[in-house]
Amino acid sequence: MRTIAIANQKGGVGKSTTTINLGAGLVAKGHKVLLIDCDPQGHATLGLGIETKNIKTVADLLIKESISLEEVISHTEEANLDIIPSDIGLSVSEMQLSTKGAKEFKLRNSLKGLKGYDFVIIDCPPTFGTITMNAFTTASEIILPVQLGYFSLEGVVSFVETIDFINKEIGSVVGHKIVISGVLITFFDTRTTIAKNVFKELKEVFEDKIYSTKIPQNVKLNEAQSFGKTIFQYEPNCRGAEAYLDLATEVLAQTSKHKLSTQPS
């Protein structure tokens, strides 16, 4: 079972969209996927049409001692795609969690008995708080979505340096180092000069560490989430669907050599 965190300290780069549709793309490839929404905004949850009013969420899993995984896992409309949902209550839970011992490992410990999934994909908030640390100690790899714009390169380098620091601090406790599997370009539009220039800079620094798949500017991706559907349910033949299916193929084909460090080759 591969556990992947979708993370970037910057908001609005397509983390939740990628969590939902990479997961759905992997399902389309014949795999069973569990999504974990670790963002208090709950965009992955809302984007799959899940209402949290009368169900357990990831906040319950992190705070309550006597709760089973079965109680917090919700089934989506798409077979083999499940989610542990989130909502704004996770913000309060993060404050409560910060007072507990081994606070960075609560999610990891809660998932120890998890079986039956090929992939776990975690949607992270755009901050480096206790919740994000829980995601990082649980995952073995990170996909870093990047929207091409000013300061994108600096943001990627800073993020990678932070991951290296985390590995040095707690890698021995976790038992493995979390690696960045690759950089995913989102909202890709080759018509803009900024996008072309920043993409060129990223390629020069990180070379083959950037996914070949680029997620295009595609209104159907936003529309799908507003209707609580994956892109494959909503508009399976659009460019956004094709891109996420291609990304799923790349993720499945990845090997240990496709890893990113702060010392790009």
End-to-end Cα spacing for the chain: 29
Reported as a single tens digit per residue, the pLDDT across 34-58 is: 999 999 999 999 999 999 999 999 9
Asked if pLDDT for residue 265 goes beyond 60, the answer is: no
Q: What is the pTM of this model?
A: 0.91
Task: Quote the pLDDT of residue 256.
Answer: 43
Locate 230 and state its tokens: 């994956």
Ordered by start, the domain boundaries in the chain are 2-253
Parallel/antiparallel/unpaired status of strands 81-84 and 74-75: antiparallel
Higher pLDDT, 139 or 206: 139
Q: Which long-range contacts (CB under 8 A, 24 or more apart) does 254-259 make?
A: 254/181, 254/182, 258/181, 258/182, 258/208, 258/209, 259/179, 259/180, 259/181, 259/209
Kindly report the average pLDDT of the chain as a whole number.
89
Confidence of residue 183 (pLDDT cuts 50, 70, 90): very high
pLDDT value at 154 more than 70: yes
Tokens 């600096």 -> residue = 154
Percent of the chain whose pLDDT exceeds 90: 59
Residue, of 119 and 262, whose pLDDT is higher:
119
Residue 113's pLDDT band, with cuts at 50, 70 and 90, is confident
CATH architecture of 2-253: 3-Layer(aba) Sandwich (3.40)
CA-based nearest residue to 179, from 21, 2, 1: 2
Burial class (CB in 10 A: 0-12, 13-18, 19+), 212: exposed
